[in-house]
């Protein structure tokens, strides 16, 4: 028999129902309840937004964050990078700016006597720069990665 948890947002009257086979562990059931309550409260907050444009923007932000969370839980880091890059682009961040941020991070890590951890060579999902396997022949003046634009 399926289990069910229902959460309501008192401000908006929104109700979210989760039905399925829940794990027996009480801690898991608490997490199901807490997550459902959080989602319900979040949706209630967005739905109570007066401005149509602002409400749509908030929905897009929530959708993206949930997609990132899903990809992280699945361990799909390429998808995480793609989503982060897409989000940054939608905010007006250019490829040159992403390269600049990555280069600054490399420089700061170098000053600390450290390198970027493996897999972070393409921190923002730039496949051309990830993972770091030594000097990039496209940037002969910089052994750590792309040159500043």
Q: What pLDDT digit, counting tens, does each position of 22-76 carry?
A: 999 999 999 999 999 999 999 999 999 999 999 999 999 999 999 999 999 999 9
Average pLDDT over residues 111-136: 58
Dihedral angle computed from the Cα positions of residues 96, 98, 100 and 104, in that order, rounded to the nearest 10 degrees = -170
Question: What distance, in Å, lies between the first and last C-alpha atoms of the chain?
Answer: 60
pLDDT top residue among 74 and 146: 74
Calculate the average pLDDT of the chain: 82
> Chain-centre distance of CA 31, in angstroms?
20
Within 8 A by CB and 6+ apart from 24, the residues are none
pLDDT at 41: 95
pLDDT band at 146 (very low <50, low <70, confident <90, very high): very low
Q: Give, in degrees to the nearest 5, the angle at Cα 130 between 65 and 147.
A: 105
Q: Each residue of 95-116: pLDDT tens digit?
A: 899 888 888 888 888 888 887 7
Within 8 A by CB and 6+ apart from 37, the residues are 7
pLDDT at 118: 61
Q: Cα(124)–Cα(80) distance, rounded to whole angstroms?
A: 9
Within 8 A by CB and 6+ apart from 44, the residues are 9, 11, 12, 14
pLDDT top residue among 88 and 5: 5
């Amino acid at each position: 028999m399926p289990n069910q948890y229902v959460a309501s947002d008192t401000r908006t009257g929104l109700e979210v129902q989760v039905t399925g086979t829940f794990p027996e562990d009480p801690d898991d059931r608490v997490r199901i309840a807490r997550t459902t309550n959080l989602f319900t409260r979040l949706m209630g907050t967005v739905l109570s937004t007066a401005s149509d444009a602002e409400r749509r923007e908030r929905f897009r932000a929530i959708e993206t964050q949930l997609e990132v969370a899903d990809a992280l839980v699945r361990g799909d880091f390429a998808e995480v990078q793609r989503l982060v890059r897409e989000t940054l682009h939608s905010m007006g961040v250019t490829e040159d700016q992403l390269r600049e941020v990555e280069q600054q991070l490399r420089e700061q890590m170098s000053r600390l006597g450290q390198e970027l951890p493996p897999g972070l060579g393409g921190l923002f999902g730039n496949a051309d720069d990830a993972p770091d396997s030594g000097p990039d022949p496209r940037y002969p003046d910089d052994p750590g990665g792309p040159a500043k634009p």
